[in-house]
Amino acid sequence: MRCLLVLSLVLYTYALYPQRNEIRQYDSLDGLWTFVREQSNSNGTGLVNQWYLSDLSTFPNATQIPVPSAYNDLVEQREWRDHVGWVWYQLKYTPAQRDQGLRTFLRFESVNYFAMVFLNDKNVGNHTGGHLPFEFEVNFDYTKINFITVAVNNTLSNSTIPPGEFQYKTEVYTINGQSYSVYPDGFFEQTPDFDFFNYAGILRSAFVLKLGSVFISDVWIVAQANGSLLYTITLDKSTTGLTANVTVSSLQPTTGTIVYSGTGLQNSAVVQNIELWYPRGYGYPSLYVMEVKLLNGTQVIDIYRETFGFRTVTWDSDKIYINGKPFYCHGFDAHEDFELHGRGYNPVVMIKDLNTMEWMNGNCYRTSHYPYSQERAYEADRRGIAVITETPAVGMKLFDNTNLALHKYMLTEMIQRDKNHPSVIAWSLSNEPQTYKPESKAYYQ
């Protein structure tokens, strides 16, 4: 398991949230997937026997479970809830003939903790860590039903983020002079180094993205309270002869008013008479939308629209300022957990949580102790709720180079995803790390 985690630290992610528009399309993979659970602590039985080559629905222990959702609370058995090790998801997907010629990607918003993704007989990629999106380019077979298979392992160790502890069980008893082992070889119990439940599985939505031969892979926007606007458009591959038309329009209260127009993949300007984004109680959370049209000559080959806000966050020794105003966080720590689906994304629960927060006069929260869904970040933008976004690094106690590489990788994924959200006012590197250890100083510096 630890070998796989180290080898998978390649950033297979694009920052942009899936979007349907005049050019872009996607299929949602949310719904019921076939689910097979290996025995806890198994030595990778499914990988050894190449389960991804099989129709998992024919297995005697196969069932159906919803995506997105944690699997832990969907049955009554303790061994299911407390399962440690491999579980397998599979979905039969028939691609549309009209999509031939498009580039296609499998995207997952969150799989906890380690995921191996297969399309038919091919391992298309692996990903380490829950709570952040990843995607892989794939080639579907348009002549048949395709099998999308995801093997998920929730095992935690000193080399995972967050970490966990192993306790190997070796109890032996004797009957009539014959020794019997209570546990199979290699059996262990796991204790996470944090005080909340380690919900596992495909926790957020999954998609098939359908894009052109060249597409917009990132939009980076820096918009300050003085009207300063800087943006960089990144394409998925280097291509000459392409340019972009960029417009910025106000979303409220003067819907549709264009405040900026420009060309090129990178530019800067000072926008006049802007309305600033403020948290609740300090002003209105004014939002703008940047529309990027990628052009090959006069032909529009991709479009992406990203919302953002003009705001500046500064601080001194005892205060945080948003747009020059001292900001006091009336806030919360929370979890995305809910009965039945665990930490699986549920828009009903998300909206209820945010409505309750506003009812309690809240204006701020920390995503303890992992990044929340991107849908929630967009809602925080709209509502004017300030957010401290936190990496999954809770309970860190081993500060070596392996963990440092993984920690940086997760931090990069998190910032890539959430960098344009005006609601995000700070990044939290860890929660309750053992910083009394001397080696932690160099680690965090």
Residue 4 has pLDDT above 70, yes or no: no
Fold for 2-210, please state it: Jelly Rolls (2.60.120)
Please tell me the predicted confidence (pLDDT) of residue 180. 72
- Cβ neighbours of 96 (radius 10 Å): 13
Residue 255 has pLDDT above 70, yes or no: no
Average pLDDT taken over every residue of the chain = 92
Residue 253 has pLDDT above 70, yes or no: no
Please tell me the predicted confidence (pLDDT) of residue 358. 97
Please tell me the predicted confidence (pLDDT) of residue 252. 72
CA distance linking residue 363 with residue 442, whole number of Å: 34
Percentage of residues in the chain having pLDDT higher than 70: 94
Q: Which of residues 386 and 164 earns the better pLDDT score?
A: 386
Residue 207 has pLDDT above 90, yes or no: yes
Q: Which of residues 432 and 176 earns the better pLDDT score?
A: 432
CA distance linking residue 381 with residue 309, whole number of Å: 8
Please tell me the predicted confidence (pLDDT) of residue 240. 83
Residue 7 has pLDDT above 80, yes or no: no
The DSSP result for 53-97, as a single string, is GS-GGGSTT-EEEEESS-STTSSS-HHHHT--SEEEEEEEE---G
Render pLDDT for 50-109 as a digit per residue (tens, 0 to 9): 999 999 999 999 999 999 999 999 999 988 999 999 999 999 999 999 999 999 999 999
Q: What is the mean pLDDT of residues 345-372?
A: 96
Q: What is the mean pLDDT of residues 333-339?
A: 90
Q: What is the mean pLDDT of residues 399-414?
A: 97
Please tell me the predicted confidence (pLDDT) of residue 8. 45
Closest CA to 392 of 370, 413, 372, 409: 370
In the block, tokens 């990132």 appear at 218
- Cβ neighbours of 142 (radius 10 Å): 13
Give the tokens for residue 23.
């050019």
Task: Sort strands 424-428 and 386-390 into parallel, antiparallel or unpaired.
Answer: parallel
Please tell me the predicted confidence (pLDDT) of residue 11. 47
Residue 205 has pLDDT above 70, yes or no: yes
Please tell me the predicted confidence (pLDDT) of residue 172. 74
In the block, tokens 């409220």 appear at 252
Fold for 313-444, please state it: TIM Barrel (3.20.20)
Residue 237 has pLDDT above 90, yes or no: no
Residue 182 has pLDDT above 70, yes or no: no
Cα Rg of the chain (Å, integer): 24
Q: How confident is the model at residue 40 (pLDDT cuts 50, 70, 90)?
A: confident
Residue 103 near residue 213, CB atoms below 8 Å: yes
Mention the CATH class of domain 214-308: mainly beta
Please tell me the predicted confidence (pLDDT) of residue 176. 72
Render pLDDT for 284-305 as a digit per residue (tens, 0 to 9): 999 999 999 999 999 999 999 9
Residues annotated as catalytic (active site), given as ranges: 432
Q: Which of residues 165 and 317 earns the better pLDDT score?
A: 317
Residue 9 has pLDDT above 90, yes or no: no
Extents of the domains making up the chain:
2-210, 214-308, 313-444
Least confident of 118-127, 177-186, 310-319: 177-186
In the block, tokens 């099989």 appear at 54
